[in-house]
Structure 1
Amino acid sequence: MEMSDERMEMSTVECQHLPPSWQGNGDADAEVEVEEDHLWPTKDGPLPIFLKFENVEYRVKMTLKNPLTAVRVAFASQMTVDQGSSCKHILKGIAGSVDPGEILALMGPSGSGKTTLLKILGGRLDGGIKGQITYNDTPYSPCLKRRIGFVTQDDVLFPQLTVEETLVFAAFLRLPACMSKQQKRDRVDAIITELNLERCRHTKIGGAFVRGVSGGERKRTSIGNEILVDPTLLLLDEPTSGLDSTSASKLILVLQRLAKTRRTIITTIHQPSSRMFYMFDKLLLISDGHAIYHGKARDCMHHFSSLGFVPEIPMNPAEFLLDLATGNLDDISVPEALRGSPDPQEFRSQVIRHLQLKFRAGGGAGAGGRSRVPPTEQLRLALRARKDHRRSIGWLQQFTVLSRRTFRERASDYLDKMRLAQAVGVALLLGLLWWKSQTGNEAQLRDQVGLIFYICVFRTSSSLFGSVYVFPFEKLYLVKERKADMYRLSAYYASSTLCDAVPHVVYLVLFMTILYFMAGLRRTVPCFFLTLLATLLIVFTSQGTGELLGAAILSVKRAGVMASLVLMLFLLTGGYYVQHIPKFIRWLKYVSFMHYGFNLLLKAQYHGHLTYNCASRGGCQRLQSSPSFGTVDLDGGMREVWILLAMALAYRFLAYFCLLKRITLTPL
């Protein structure tokens, strides 16, 4: 009978396993009410996660270029040194467990390994990990990724989007394809109500240069971003960091409400208030990579009192625990075995070692305990964990949603008045400087060729610097969303490139329409559109170059410096300042898109059979004979079009693969 039920469960459609609140029917309140003695779900309920970890160790290799520095660092932090490479032992046999409906708080001083342990439990760290971590008595697998929500310490949210827009776009990207748009919007409304974000739903998130929501509202938005997909294991890294006591307590109350809906919650916490401390169900206290307490939060004071550590003055429990974890025992009585050490540093080390030994002696190494899942439920939970991988939306839908979000986020930049003023102002200035320019003699022709080269330089610099900072600025958002498998990187890259190309085209057409007729360039329809096409190709190629530099470097400062060097190099080899480049460095002009773009603009504007300098004694001369076109064959065809197209595509492909590699290797 058990096996037949399992076969029926495997044959059901994937949307059948969505909670009633996702499907748009059923009683939402019935979904929340859970009996304490029966925490595993019904067939249509969310999959709870019973998490257990034992003897978790983590080492990280640190490569130092200077061997002497490596030795000094090793002695300072007790690392092993091997030819300039040091290995730091961060976690040293941590164990613990947490069940659905509980909140486990990870406490300890800075650098004790809290965040590292949290990332390991969330499957966000690879390599150097030892120990056993099980979810419903099964090891971690990629299908569990969508059941785990991870809220980072820093709220990585787009500042220009409102709270509602942030959650709506996340819902469209992360919720299953079988849900309708209205169901996804209903899910967002439910999250906003659940997290008490109604008052600020239409307020921008804000950031360094944009006023927005408060710190508590921003943190709740980050939590809402994760619980949209109804994760049953929610991990939070310092969620109360930067919040006042009242806002922090309200946030913990929100986590308590979430835990009551059969979610397993683990959070790192630094120094909570007394009220907040007693809101946690379990506590894991870490000191120097070792666990020194694991159990109920309310029992910790009694536990340490039984070991002889008693506060001599009224103290916040969190402050008392952190003092123990650091070995700072001011105003704390100590057991007889630790008294009499004259050296304060040695005394602190003895205290920490004593607490570690007592924890191990009391069975702390096996604090993971036995899972509360009955044997009859283990197989069904394991099967559901394997098949609970809901199909996400397709590539085209991801591209559409990301395009809308990208345009909404960058709209202030695209529609910037200063950007419009720059395009119009520069066009008017150049039009006045080259007002009704002529090509009657060599000097006039040289002036007009100079205008064409400046057009090439101006549009190149605008596009290059407009795109080189995109990926460095959005690196954190991209890493976070890629870690959560929100979309394919190709969909993000295509939407970002397309959205950035649209304003470049609009401002370019406006710029060229004003300048072209003011400067008196050839007033024929083919010449105008050929010149516009050539300028567009220059813009697309320089935009691709900027994306490649930004994706390869992913640093705002270094990307700007590299873009300046590339622009200067292409400027000098463009063919205007130096036409006859020495042979040993002549290859530079063949990799310069400005060289091909400048030649294409000249061919679009002039033809070899046209004449000039007719007032001279020798009579009219062909334009091709002018020194300004000494290295350009005006009647040589338009091969530069294909070269620029090939460059634009090649730069973008390289940018995509560089971005894929860098984002994959970048930790969050």
Structure 2
Amino acid sequence: METGREDEIVDMPMSPPVVGSNINNDFCHHKEFMSQTYMQNKYSEIDIDTEDSNFDQNRPLPIFLKFEDVEYKVRNSQAGSGNVVKSMMSKLTTHLTVEEDRYKRILKGITGSIGPGEILALMGPSGSGKTTLLRVIGGRLVDNVKGKVTYNDVRFNPALKRRIGFVTQEDVLFPQLTVEETLVFSALLRLPGSMSKQQKYAKVDTTIKELGLERCRHTKIAGGYLKGISGGERKRTCIGSEILVDPSLLLLDEPTSGLDSSSANKLLLTLQGLAKAGRTIITTIHQPSSRIFHMFDKLLLISEGYPVYYGKAKETIEYFSFLRFTPQIPMNPAEFLLDLATGQVNDISVPPDIFQDQESSDPSKVVIEYLQLKYKSLLEPKEKEQNHRVASTPEHLQLAIQVKMEWTSSWLDQFMILSRRTYKARRKEYFDKLRLFQALGIALVLGLLWWKSSINTEAGLRDQVGLAFYICIFWTSSCIFAAVYVFPFEEYYLVKENKADMYRLSVYYACSTLCDMVATVFYPTFFMLILYFMAGFNRAVASFLLTLLTILLIAITSQGAGEMFGAAIMSVKRAGTAATLLLMLFLLTGGYYVQHIPKFMRWLKYLSFMYYGFRLLLKVQYSGDQLYDCGSMGGCRTLQSSPTFDSVNLKGGLKEVWILLAMALIFRLLAYLCLRVRIVGRKN
């Protein structure tokens, strides 16, 4: 909401009440003539600019948008058991009534059109359906939608995805990246491959200057408890990531929220410049200042899902004056319109005859119903007639809009760009001081507890084997819990960027899992370098390297399992619970606490990678022919004869390596498939 007093106080035209049918005829005739002339000029301009039939798919494609009788409904969550019982009892109710009980109508028949060079503002009180209509137009809502939405006289198709920019009301930005880094990575991923890197960086620099982000270009986004850029700067960064790729159709949801009057005015000037270059722009806005209000070409005013005005923004006051609604005090036009849309007419003169013969005692409801009725009888028929009468879009534009744009870069190029961004975004997590202190502290504590332990006795052997199992538990739990939250936390970023077709999902997953291996390899290595020699394990270099590789293999497999459960569940709370249950299952079947599992439960251990990892760790650390317990009455014995290794053949080869590698690959394949189902489902 803009609060500048100079902008908001504007004298409204105080037209005298006009009575009679001439109101309708005069206003509609004037509107019809002006709209028809305007659209003819628009089409002729675009025809001149696009007469080449071999339209370059990388250039912004002019889009003529038409929407007619758009309706949208959602399943009524309130329709619980009470409604079911009621519907069962009333067998004679009509099918329509049952449908109304089951569904709630959000949009109730909206018609309009907009072409290149125009900015359409969707206004209305909160909950009126502005954002819903924007999402329908952007192709993000397809189920339970009725009506007709066409782009250059063609229905929505996948080819349009990368021609539509969508700025959501929520700021979805990586907190660890700076403003410039955010825009640079967006440019590298989304701008055409025909542009050089220098051109892409220049485009970013221009966008930063246009949006007034020079002061914070090197500041991290941050947010929450981390200090970073302001809310207005976050909004401008979101808009910048969309407008820097020059979309043909730009949709913005409350772009001026959180901005002061001056910043909002600069933003609208930027949007005007984009529109004049041939873009079609639609934005929802709640209560703009007077100056911003007059920057819009067209306005759609919605009340309770119904349209109450559609036409040129500068003609709104004239239209409502014809209907004998005039402000009694100087008032911002947007404030005047919102008061009408909510039925709050305390400072507005209204036709006295609208309250006659009305059953409702609520004046606001009477006003809204009257405005809806007038729109249906005066504006909607003319708008529909004009949409049908306007000349068809040139054929080459219809064909061009159905050509699917290829990826702007190859798989490998996307991988290199996204790897850099993923590393920068997660770098703080990879080299976290607390995590480093945890690995160091636990390694020192374990090293001191098992200081120079030996396997000369049965008790000493059991202690050292117990340490080996604890190491398996520690790195299994650490890697599972580090990986299980990754996709649930990044779901919003991933959904947003996939809807914009910024990159292939396979590229994202490959970058995510490979970059996370930095921490998966670094911390266990650091941990084992400290603990191994303190605890008195086999000092041979080969044994140390094999032990370290075994721990790393366990950690990598655990990471894959965590990713799989995180991608399958996609919920921070439920993912943590699932990871805990998974860890407990692996812990109990790992082969240390219970070596002889009953036959009917034995199959569980073959699903546990901790079982294979623990067995492999024992094989690389100990030899079956190695002697121990030489001081006992029975004399020296081989390690294989110890009860500790009853279920482990120390000479049985290293088949566990291949099993763990197979598990690591299977977990990652399943993680990718789960991620694809989740994201593609949200995307479509």
TM exceeding 0.5? yes
- 2:329 aligned residue: 313
Report the Cα offset of residue 526 of structure 1: 2.2
638-647 vs 405-414, greater mean Cα deviation: 638-647
- Taking structure 1 as the reference length, the TM-score comes to 0.89
CA distance in 2, matches of 1:71, 1:399: 56
Alignment partner, residue 278 of structure 2: 262
Which residue of the other structure, out of 333, 338, 341, is the alignment partner of 1:325? 341
Shift, 1:647, TM fit? 1.1
Q: Is 1:133 matched with 2:149?
A: yes
Which residue does 1:115 correspond to in 2? 131
Determine the structure 2 residue equivalent to 1:250: 266
Q: SS of the residue aligned with 1:56?
A: strand
What one-letter code is carried by the residue in structure 1 that aligns with 2:559? Q
Contact map agreement 2:358 2:366 (CA 8 A) in 1: no
Higher relative contact order (CA 8 A, sep 6+): 2
Distance 1:581 1:355 in 2: 76
In structure 1, how many angstroms separate the alpha carbons of the residues matched to 2:143 and 2:652? 58
CA distance, structure 1, for counterparts of residue 63 and residue 429 of structure 2? 44
SS at match of 2:402: helix
Q: Is the contact between residue 64 and residue 393 of structure 2 (CA under 8 Å) also seen in structure 1? A: no
Please state how far the C-alpha of 1:257 moved relative to its aligned partner: 2.5
Which residue in 1 is equivalent to 2:371? 355
Aligned to 1:59: 73
The Cα shift of 1:380 comes to: 2.7
Partner of 2:45: 38
User: Which range moved further: 84-93 or 231-240?
Assistant: 84-93
* Partner SS for 2:103: strand
Q: Distance in 2 between matches of 1:72 and 1:360?
A: 34
**Alignment pair present for 1:367 and 2:383:** yes
**The residue matched to 1:173 in structure 2 has which SS?**
helix
1:613 to 621, 629, 633: 629
Identity %: 62
- State the partner residue of 2:161: 145
SS at match of 2:102: strand
> Closer, same or farther in 2 for the Cα pair 1:388/1:416, shift >3 Å?
same
Distance 2:564 2:370 in 1: 55
Aligned to 2:511: 495
2:653 counterpart letter in structure 1: G
Is 2:582 aligned against 1:575?
A: no
- 1:224 aligned partner: 240
Out of 521, 533, 543, the residue aligned to residue 549 of structure 2 is: 533
Residue identity matched to 2:67: F
Please give the secondary structure, in 2, of the residue aligned with 1:666: helix
After superposition, what is the alpha-carbon deviation per residue over 1:395-447, rounded to whole angstroms, capped at 9, x for unaligned? 11111111111001111111212222222222122111111110111111111
Matched, 1:196 2:216: no
1:637-648 to 2 correspondences below 5 Å = 637-648=653-664
Q: Which residue of 1 aligns with 2:457?
A: 441
- Structure 2 distance, partners of 1:404, 1:386, is 33
Match 2:257 to one of 241, 244, 251: 241
1:478 is matched with: 494
Q: Give me the whole-angstrom Cα distance separating, in 1, the residues matched to 2:325 and 2:86.
A: 35
Q: CA deviation at 1:373?
A: 11
Contact preservation (8 Å) 1:173, 1:487? yes
Distance 2:172 2:655 in 1: 46
* 3-state SS of 1:284 partner: strand
* Structure 2 residue matching 1:363: 3-state secondary structure: helix
Aligned to 2:179: 163
Partners in 1 of 2:547 and 2:79 — Cα distance? 53
Q: 1:295: Cα distance to partner?
A: 1.0
Q: 1:299 to 1:307 in 2, by over 3 A?
A: same
Q: Is the Cα–Cα contact under 8 Å of residues 62 and 116 in structure 2 kept in the other structure? A: yes
Residue 488 of structure 1, CA deviation: 0.6
> Do the aligned partners of residues 526 and 80 (structure 1) sit closer, same or farther apart at CA in structure 2, a change above 3 Å counting?
farther
Decide which moves more: 380-389 or 235-244. Answer: 380-389
Residues 499 and 683 in structure 2, CA contact (< 8 A), matched pair in contact too: no
The alignment covers a number of residue pairs equal to 632
1:563 matched residue in structure 2: 579
List per-residue Cα deviations over 1:575-598 (Å, max 9, x = no partner).
222222233333222211111111
Cα-to-partner distance string for 1:323-357 (whole Å, 9 max, x where unaligned): 22222333333222332689876443332222111
* 1:256 Cα deviation from its structure 2 partner: 2.1
Which segments of 5 or more consecutive residues in structure 2 lack a partner in the other structure?
1-40, 88-93
> What's 2:109 paired with?
93
* Preserved contact between residue 472 and residue 550 of structure 1 (Cα < 8 Å): yes
* Structure-2 separation of matches of 1:390 and 1:641: 41
Task: Give 1:318 shift.
Answer: 2.0
Q: State the TM-score, normalized to the length of structure 2.
A: 0.87
Q: Kindly tell me: are residues 549 and 561 of structure 1, through their superposed partners in 2, closer, same or farther at Cα, counting changes over 3 Å?
A: same
Which segment is superposed worse, 548-557 or 54-63?
54-63
Task: Compare 78-87 and 346-355 and name the one that shifted more.
Answer: 78-87
Q: Which residue of 1 aligns with 2:15?
A: none
Q: 1:453 Cα shift?
A: 0.7
1:72 & 1:239 partners in 2: Cα distance?
Answer: 44
SS for the counterpart of 1:393 is coil
Residue 26 (structure 1) aligns with: none
Question: What amino acid does structure 2 have at the position aligned with 1:454?
Answer: Y
Give the Cα separation in 1 of the matches to 2:60 and 2:599. 70
The two structures, once aligned, show a CA RMSD in angstroms of 2.8
AA partner of residue 64 (structure 2): F
8 Å contact 1:70–1:85 — kept in the other structure?
no
Query: Which SS does the other structure have where 1:436 is aligned?
Result: coil
In the alignment, structure 1 residue 105 sits paired with structure 2 residue 112: no
Match of 1:291 in 2: 307
User: What is the distance in 2 between the residues matched to 1:142 and 1:66?
Assistant: 37
What are the Cα deviations for residues 145-181 of structure 1, in whole angstroms up to 9, with x where unaligned? 2221110111111111111111111111111222222
Q: CA separation in 2, counterparts of 1:611 and 1:83? A: 80
Q: Single out whichever of 104-113 and 36-45 deviates more from structure 2.
A: 36-45
Quote how far apart the aligned CAs of 1:134 are.
1.9
Counterpart of 1:516, as a letter, is Y
Letter aligned with residue 437 of structure 1? S
Q: Is 2:253 the partner of 1:215?
A: no
- The aligned residue for residue 624 of structure 1 is 640
Shift of the 523–414 alpha-carbon distance from structure 1 to 2, 3 Å rule, reads same
Give the corresponding residue for 2:18. none
What is the CA deviation profile of residues 348-385 of structure 1, one whole-angstrom value per residue up to 9, with x for unaligned ones? 33322221111011031552564699859612322332
Say if 1:108 and 1:287, in contact at 8 Å, map to a contact too. Answer: yes
What is aligned with 1:48? 62
C-alpha separation between the residues in 2 aligned to 1:566 and 1:338? 67
8 A contact 1:137–1:371 mirrored in 2: no
Following superposition, the deviation at residue 546 of structure 1 comes to 0.6
Distance in 2, matches of 1:309 and 1:376, equals 37
Deviation per residue, 1:91-110 (Å, 9 max, x gap): 12101111222211101122
After superposition, residues 358-437 of structure 1 pair within 5 angstroms as 358-367=374-383, 370=386, 378-387=394-403, 389-437=405-453
Larger CA deviation: 393-402 vs 575-584: 575-584
- Mapped to 1, the partners of 2:280 and 2:644 lie a distance apart of 74
Other structure's SS at 2:45 match: coil
Q: Distance in 2 between matches of 1:345 and 1:628?
A: 86
2:20 is matched with which residue?
none
Say if 1:149 and 1:136 are closer, same or farther in 2 by CA, change over 3 A: same
Query: 1:578, 1:322 → 2: CA distance?
Result: 71
Q: Distance in 1 between matches of 2:449 and 2:591?
A: 22
Instruction: State whether residues 360 and 366 of structure 2, in contact with CA within 8 Å, keep that contact through their aligned partners in structure 1.
Output: no
Report the AA paired with residue 45 of structure 2: H
Distance 1:515 1:69, change over 3 A: farther
